[in-house]
Structure 1
Amino acid sequence: MMKQYLEVKEQCRDAILFFRLGDFYEMFFDDALTASRELDLTLTGRAGGDKERVPMCGVPFHSADGYIERLVHKGYKVAICEQMEDPKLAKGIVKRKIIKVITPGTITLENAVASKNNNYIGCLCEKEDVMAIALMDVTTGECVWSVCAASVSEDTILDILSVYEPSEMIYSRKGDHINSVMAYLRNRISQCTVTAFDEQTDVDYEEKASEYFQQTDFAAARQAGMCIGILLTYVREVMQSDISHINSLEPIDNGRRLVMDASSLRHLEITQNVRNGGRKGTLLDVLDKTNTAMGGRLLRKWLEAPLVRISDIILRQDAVEDILSHEIMRQDMHDALDGIYDFERILTRIETGTASPKDMVALRESLASIPQLKTVLDGGAAELLKRLNSRVSTHPEVYDILCQGIKDDPGVVIRNGGVIRDGFSAELDEIRSISANSHAYLQNLEEREKEKTGIKLKIGYTKVFGYYFEISHANTKAIPDYYVRKQTLVNAERYITPELKEFEVKVLTAQDQMLVLEYKLFAQIRQQIQAYIPAMQETARSIARVDCLYSLACAAHDNRYIRPGLNKDTVISIKEGRHPIIERYLKDELFVPNDVTLDHNDHEVLVITGPNMAGKSTYMRQVAVLVLMAQAGSFIPAREASICPVDRIFTRIGASDDILTGQSTFMMEMREVSYILKHATSHSLLILDEIGRGTSTFDGMSIARAVIEYCLKHIHALTLFATHYHELIAMADDSQKIKNYTVAVKERGKNIKFLRRIVPGGADRSYGLHVARLAGLPDGLLKRADVILADLEAHGNAAVPAIRPAAAAAPVADSLFVSPVLDKLLHVDVTSLTPIEAISFLYSLQNEAKEGSGMK
């Protein structure tokens, strides 16, 4: 047996081998050491031919799925070696064979992958300075691809990987550029398992790939054909099953989608928050009102890759508005969608032969809800709803098969039986009847034989001889020819008949027969359904789109969102916009809305100054998120808006370092800025926060100013630029395309209150000490900081004459931070005050003045 194990293990050196021995999967040698550590299993040993015992551990085969899932999620591959014959009938060693290998990118076990997340496996190929990438979700049957020049792969491919985050990656024809991608995977997506693929020179992988997809789709993917073919070949080999359900092929089309790099997705918290990478506190969390797992997965894709074509966006907006404006339609749509399970993944398990009885019931209930959904969609006026309705089918043939074949409440696992409905198979019904009514059958047979033969007899049973007719010697008459003597007793004879023998065989093997026949019938039902899988996949994908539109409509209704207008004038104009995430989680106070105008005429770059914690970063993120929402087809939190679709959103926000690659915070900042300046266009939106903060004041200020000038001269992107370098507000005097904005602050002596309002103008200082005071630094420290600041300001004026704002700018800044005393004086009607009221008013002004000066 150990020799057989080692021969099998040689076929899967990079996988943990689950070797079937009776009712257990056993692991030996290094696999046992690894599995016992990762799964907390007891490590034992057994004789293996050497002096030392072989390390060994195991898990029950009927509960192996949970253990396999845990290993795969840790990045291991698991090879399943099954017994290929009945051990009771085998002569010598039982024949065993690897029936499949489960890897992080090909796992299809139920609940192994989060229901609203995709699980991608990818392939990377480099050929003649062209890099091709293909990504596939085996659980849903979809495949996407892209090609680029190898020289720019470090940007293009890495952006794709950051969005799709594959759990497994294979590669072929390794070159220098692939090496850099592998390094990225090790450092950034460490949970991704990487495998080299042994490409066969005599195999036409492109031809293999063409067999899975429609010719029109594959013709567009010819450049990536070999890469797609290699990926399909690998998946087919490890799964050891039919994978014809993988039939959706789409390009990663940057011409039809807004491109989001990894940094921007992270900074804006679109689908993962910056704290722990979780879902809470993200835009997806706010907008996801989907009822189905299929819709939840698609909504994530919509947010990670919004649209750029106005016509496409309007189609979604019309559908969302149609659902939003009809309360009854929205409620009926919810009721219909609520009964639909994740049958996109159920279809995959049917195709690969791993579907459970519960999957069949879920598919049947899903199909039962589709007619109700189509009735709701029949009432939709929006063009997109009509298109989706035409692509949703009820699949009555499959529904009838499932209704006739599967019980309403079947057993959990097929091997335990109780799955096939009564009346589906006459053979199964007979076996069940024999098993359940054997006593009644024997009584009936006994009475028939007495009447037929005229002999007084009785039916008996022993474990040794089985069933028999017993006839005493006193009642012996002419025994019919079909009675065969089985045993002679002192006072009686025992006989067997063909009918009784047949019954004996049936009743003694009924349970085993039932299980075997049920499994056979279940497999037949599964096979019948496989012919309908492509059509049902189209239905599932269309239902997912309906669910996404429903979700956006519900979010708009619940959060008071409005439909943004769209324009081709490269103008972003938002009135009283609100940040959807912060607004959702803000409990103690109301969110302060703000306006924004960006265009290529006189608002191309907005320089935003003001103290820390005042809301500059929130404001800029808000603009980016609202633009992204609009391009995804969502309504947005604002009073009104007109937005031009942008081709890319770039963000440079926050401070972080990269310990693994040895890059400091400032280096990371500069790399991100370099990436932005390299890829941004005049149709992009740039969110730049505190450029230059990681180095000395003069160095940082110089870089910040140079970045603004470079954007104005070479890129012409719509730009929001927040900075603590209030000296930069002077740049607005030199260019009409720059406008200064600041965060309004109410100042009382050495204390400030953030008003969260973005207003025209520039701040004349950064209010760092005020924020430090709010943070609770010791008073003695703050007083010393005041002294140091005054000294630095007194001796630093002459150092930066070219960057300091012009004297004319000071009144603008002063007007933004006026004393409350002056504010009251400006707004009081002195002529209407009585003498007593005037004295009282003067007294209150004096108290305010004392507070502001620190005298009180």
Structure 2
Amino acid sequence: MMRQYLEVKEQCKDKILFFRLGDFYEMFFDDALTASRELDLTLTGRGGEGKDRAPMCGVPFHSADTYIERLVHKGYKVAICEQMEDPKLAKGIVKREIIKVITPGTITLENAVASKQNNYIACVTEKDDLLSLALMDVTTGECLWALCAASVLEDTLFDILSVYVPSELIYADLGKDEGTVLAYVKGHMSQCAVTKLEPSAEKDYDELARAHFAADALGAAASATRCIGLLLDYVQDVMKSDISHINRLERIDNDRRLVIDAASLRHLEITQNVRDGGRKGTLLDVLDQTRTAMGGRLLRKWLEAPLVRIADITRRQDAVEELVQGEIMRQDLNASLDRIYDFERILTRIETGTASPKDMVALRESLSVIPAVKSVLAGAHSDLLQRLNSSLSEHPEVYDLLSRGIKDDPGLVIRNGGVIRDGFNADLDEIRAIAANSHAFLQEMEEREKEKTGIKMKIGYTKVFGYYFEISHANTKPVPDYYVRKQTLVNAERYITPELKEFEVKILTSQERMLSLEYQLFGEIRKAVQQYIPAMQATARAIAQVDCLCSLAATAHDNRYVRPSLNGDDRITIHDGRHPIIEKFLRDELFVPNDVTLNHQDHEVLVITGPNMAGKSTYMRQVAVLVLMAQAGSFIPARDASICPVDRIFTRIGASDDILTGQSTFMVEMKEVSYILKHATPHSLLILDEIGRGTSTFDGMSIARAVIEYCLQHVHALTLFATHYHELIAMADDSEKIKNYTVAVKERGKSIKFLRRIVPGGADRSYGLHVARLAGLPEKLLQRAEVILEELESQGGPAVTPMAPSGKASTGPLEGSLFANPVLDRLINVDVTAMTPIEAISFLYSLQKEAKEGSGSV
């Protein structure tokens, strides 16, 4: 057996092997050490003594799914090796084979992946400096693809990976870019399992893709065909089952969707918050009132990739508006949707042969609700709701089969029986009747034989001879020819008949036969359902859209959202806009609404000044979030609004370093700004917060001003620019496209109150000391800071008064201006005309060194 184990293990060296032995899956050697540590299992041994014993641990086969799920979530791959024959009938060692491999990207166990989140596996390949990416969710049957030039690898490919967050990545033929891709995955996707593929020269991966997907779907993906084929081959190899349910191929199309890079999604907290990466306190959390897991997954996609075409957005808005106004329609739909299970993923388990009896009941119950949904949608007037109604099928064949074949409350495990409904199969009914009514059946047979033969007899049973008719010698009459003498006793004869022998076989093997037949019938039902899977997948996707539209309508109704109008002239006008997340979770005070106007005529760049904590960042985020909501088809929290769809939303908000790649806070900031300026267009929306704050005052102010000028002269995007450099408000005098706005503040002595209103004009100071006082800094510290501030302002530059030895402020000359005082003294006193060129260079070098030391640059 151990020799057999080692032979199987050779086929899956990088996986934990679950080796079936009777009622357990056993693990040996390094696999046992790993599994015992990760799963808290007791480690034992097998064979030999002491150190020679093979480490071993195991789990019961009937509860293995829980253990497999835990290992896969930790990034391990698990190979399942099953017994391929009945141990009772096997000659010699039982034949065993690997029947499937479970990986983070191919796991289909019911509770293994979040119900309202996709679980993608990605494949990346490269040819002629063009990278291909394929993303597949085996639980829902969808496959996405994209192309990316190697020159923009970090901007395009990494953005897609960070948005879709695959749990597993496979790659091949990456060449010089392999290290870059692996470094990114290691640094930013630590939970992603990575596998390098060695493509087979004997396989035509392009042909594999063409054979799997329809020609019209694959036509546009010609350059990515090999990548798609590699991914299909890998998934087929590890799952070892039919994957024809993966039948939806789509391009990640930036021409039809609003592109939001990973940094912007994070800054705006669309689907993950910045605190712990969870969904609480996100836009998704606010808008998600979906009733089904399918709708929850789709809503996430709508928010991560909103629409850009006015016609598409309008179609979605019309449906939402009808559901907002038609409260009875919305409530009826929600009542039906509450009864629909995640049958999109159930269909995958049916296709791959892992569906449970509970899955079949859930599918049947879901299909039973479809007629009610169609009945409600039959009264809809909006184009999208009518289309969705047409896409919904009731699938009567499947519903009828499941109603006839599966019990209302079946057993949890098909191998334990109690799943197939009475009346579905005559043979099964007979076996069940025999098992349940064997005593009555024997009595009936006995009476029938007595009447037929006229002989007094009784039926008996022994373990040695089985069932028999016993006839005493006193009642001996000529017995029929079909009676076969089995045993002679002192006072009686025992006989068997073909009917009694047949009954004996049935009763003795009924339980085993009943379980076997139920398992067979369940498999036949599952196979019959498989042919309807593509049509049911279309129904599932239509249900998901209906659910999303109802969710957006319910949120709009509950929170007093309005429908924004759409325009095509690059203009954003919002009156009394509110931040949907902050408004929802604000407890102690009312949210203060604000207006915004952006256009290319006289409001292209808004320079927003004001103190920290006054609401500048909230205001800018609010504008971006409301635009995103509008393009997703949602209503928005505002009095009214007219919004032009933008092609991209960029944000540069917050301060953070990147320890893993050794980048400082300022470097991260500059790289994000570089990315924005490189990719923004006149149809983009830019949210820039405190550009330049990560370096010295003069450097930062210079960069901030230059960024604004570059946006005006080269990018022409609609831009919100918040800054503490209130000196920048003078730029509005030089360009009619720049407008100054500030946060209204009410000042009382040394205290301030933030009014949260954005008003025209610019701030003349930053109120930093006021905010520091609100934060509770020691009063002595604040008094000292006020002295330093007065001295700095009197000098007109970033000078710092040195601390005297006694701890009091020095009243001597200021140090820390552009050059320290000793440098100035040496420069004033030197006689340049008397120096040789060599002496001048040496003096200049020493002067520069002293200036750097004085400014803290070295």
Deviation by residue 1:614-652 (Cα, 9 ceiling, x = unmatched): 000000000000000000000000000000111100000
What is the CA distance between 1:152 and its match in structure 2?
A: 1.2
Match of 1:247 in 2: 247
One-letter code aligned to 1:563: R
Matching of residue 414 in structure 1 with residue 414 in structure 2: yes
Matching of residue 677 in structure 1 with residue 677 in structure 2: yes
Determine what percentage of the aligned residue pairs are the same residue.
79
The answer on whether the counterparts of 1:124 and 1:178 sit within 8 Å (CA) in structure 2 is no
The aligned runs of 1:302-381 (5 Å cut-off) are 302-381=302-381
Tell me which moved more, 456-465 or 715-724.
456-465
Match of 1:225 in 2: 225
Matching of residue 597 in structure 1 with residue 590 in structure 2: no
For the residue of structure 1 that corresponds to 2:573, the secondary structure is: strand
The answer on whether the counterparts of 1:740 and 1:760 sit within 8 Å (CA) in structure 2 is yes
The aligned runs of 1:647-726 (5 Å cut-off) are 647-726=647-726
Match of 1:45 in 2: 45
What is the CA distance between 1:785 and its match in structure 2?
A: 1.1
Match of 2:586 in 1: 586
One-letter code aligned to 1:415: R
Match of 2:154 in 1: 154
Matching of residue 791 in structure 1 with residue 791 in structure 2: yes
For the residue of structure 2 that corresponds to 1:434, the secondary structure is: helix
1: distance between equivalents of 2:283 and 2:686? 19
Match of 1:817 in 2: none
What is the CA distance between 1:491 and its match in structure 2?
A: 2.2
2: distance between equivalents of 1:473 and 1:41? 66
Tell me which moved more, 469-478 or 327-336.
469-478
Match of 1:84 in 2: 84
2: distance between equivalents of 1:573 and 1:294? 34
The aligned runs of 1:249-264 (5 Å cut-off) are 249-264=249-264
2: distance between equivalents of 1:320 and 1:558? 13
Match of 1:183 in 2: 183
The answer on whether the counterparts of 1:126 and 1:178 sit within 8 Å (CA) in structure 2 is no
The answer on whether the counterparts of 2:606 and 2:721 sit within 8 Å (CA) in structure 1 is yes
2: distance between equivalents of 1:171 and 1:51? 40
What is the CA distance between 1:489 and its match in structure 2?
A: 2.3
What is the CA distance between 1:487 and its match in structure 2?
A: 2.2
For the residue of structure 2 that corresponds to 1:621, the secondary structure is: helix
The aligned runs of 1:155-304 (5 Å cut-off) are 155-304=155-304
What is the CA distance between 1:454 and its match in structure 2?
A: 1.3
1: distance between equivalents of 2:697 and 2:538? 58
What is the CA distance between 1:693 and its match in structure 2?
A: 1.2
2: distance between equivalents of 1:385 and 1:577? 29
One-letter code aligned to 2:665: T
The answer on whether the counterparts of 1:154 and 1:177 sit within 8 Å (CA) in structure 2 is no
For the residue of structure 1 that corresponds to 2:12, the secondary structure is: coil
Matching of residue 105 in structure 1 with residue 105 in structure 2: yes
What is the CA distance between 1:793 and its match in structure 2?
A: 1.1
One-letter code aligned to 1:741: Y
Deviation by residue 1:740-773 (Cα, 9 ceiling, x = unmatched): 1110011000000000000001111111110111
TM-score (norm 1): 0.92
Tell me which moved more, 691-700 or 65-74.
691-700
2: distance between equivalents of 1:495 and 1:126? 80
For the residue of structure 1 that corresponds to 2:611, the secondary structure is: coil
Match of 2:69 in 1: 69
What is the CA distance between 1:464 and its match in structure 2?
A: 2.4
Change (3 A) 1:414 1:790: same
TM-score (norm 2): 0.92
Match of 2:573 in 1: 573
One-letter code aligned to 1:725: Y
Change (3 A) 1:383 1:33: same
Match of 1:642 in 2: 642
Change (3 A) 1:96 1:50: farther
For the residue of structure 2 that corresponds to 1:627, the secondary structure is: helix
Matching of residue 521 in structure 1 with residue 521 in structure 2: yes
2: distance between equivalents of 1:561 and 1:206? 49
One-letter code aligned to 2:609: T
Match of 1:609 in 2: 609
2: distance between equivalents of 1:545 and 1:378? 16
1: distance between equivalents of 2:389 and 2:48? 63
1: distance between equivalents of 2:796 and 2:519? 86
The answer on whether the counterparts of 1:151 and 1:177 sit within 8 Å (CA) in structure 2 is no
The aligned runs of 1:757-776 (5 Å cut-off) are 757-776=757-776
Deviation by residue 1:697-739 (Cα, 9 ceiling, x = unmatched): 1111111111111111110111001111111111111111111
The answer on whether the counterparts of 2:697 and 2:798 sit within 8 Å (CA) in structure 1 is no
What is the CA distance between 1:798 and its match in structure 2?
A: 9.8
Tell me which moved more, 464-473 or 293-302.
464-473
What is the CA distance between 1:182 and its match in structure 2?
A: 1.7
Match of 1:815 in 2: none
One-letter code aligned to 1:792: L
The answer on whether the counterparts of 2:792 and 2:798 sit within 8 Å (CA) in structure 1 is no
Match of 2:531 in 1: 531
Deviation by residue 1:549-573 (Cα, 9 ceiling, x = unmatched): 1111111001100000111110000
2: distance between equivalents of 1:155 and 1:50? 56
2: distance between equivalents of 1:204 and 1:542? 35
For the residue of structure 1 that corresponds to 2:202, the secondary structure is: coil
Matching of residue 18 in structure 1 with residue 18 in structure 2: yes
One-letter code aligned to 2:585: Y
What is the CA distance between 1:475 and its match in structure 2?
A: 1.9
Match of 1:474 in 2: 474
What is the CA distance between 1:49 and its match in structure 2?
A: 9.8
Q: Which runs of 5+ in 2 are unaligned?
A: 800-858
2: distance between equivalents of 1:25 and 1:119? 27
Tell me which moved more, 304-313 or 688-697.
688-697
Match of 2:830 in 1: none
What is the CA distance between 1:50 and its match in structure 2?
A: 10
For the residue of structure 2 that corresponds to 1:363, the secondary structure is: helix
For the residue of structure 1 that corresponds to 2:467, the secondary structure is: strand
Matching of residue 486 in structure 1 with residue 486 in structure 2: yes
Match of 2:729 in 1: 729
What is the CA distance between 1:89 and its match in structure 2?
A: 1.0
2: distance between equivalents of 1:662 and 1:498? 86
Deviation by residue 1:809-844 (Cα, 9 ceiling, x = unmatched): xxxxxxxxxxxxxxxxxxxxxxxxxxxxxxxxxxxx
2: distance between equivalents of 1:48 and 1:287? 62
What is the CA distance between 1:425 and its match in structure 2?
A: 0.1
For the residue of structure 2 that corresponds to 1:772, the secondary structure is: helix
For the residue of structure 2 that corresponds to 1:11, the secondary structure is: helix
Match of 1:447 in 2: 447
What is the CA distance between 1:212 and its match in structure 2?
A: 2.1
Match of 2:3 in 1: 3
For the residue of structure 2 that corresponds to 1:329, the secondary structure is: helix
Match of 1:839 in 2: none
1: distance between equivalents of 2:596 and 2:559? 20
2: distance between equivalents of 1:198 and 1:371? 50
For the residue of structure 2 that corresponds to 1:384, the secondary structure is: helix
What is the CA distance between 1:155 and its match in structure 2?
A: 1.0
One-letter code aligned to 1:139: T
1: distance between equivalents of 2:761 and 2:488? 116
**RMSD (Å) for aligned C-alpha atoms:** 1.2
1: distance between equivalents of 2:393 and 2:738? 55
One-letter code aligned to 1:296: G
Matching of residue 505 in structure 1 with residue 505 in structure 2: yes
The answer on whether the counterparts of 2:120 and 2:168 sit within 8 Å (CA) in structure 1 is yes
The answer on whether the counterparts of 1:2 and 1:48 sit within 8 Å (CA) in structure 2 is no
Q: How many residue pairs end up in the alignment?
A: 800
1: distance between equivalents of 2:682 and 2:380? 38
For the residue of structure 1 that corresponds to 2:25, the secondary structure is: strand
What is the CA distance between 1:179 and its match in structure 2?
A: 2.5
Deviation by residue 1:790-823 (Cα, 9 ceiling, x = unmatched): 1111122599xxxxxxxxxxxxxxxxxxxxxxxx
2: distance between equivalents of 1:453 and 1:150? 93
2: distance between equivalents of 1:324 and 1:51? 72
Q: Which runs of 5+ in 1 are unaligned?
A: 800-856
What is the CA distance between 1:493 and its match in structure 2?
A: 2.0
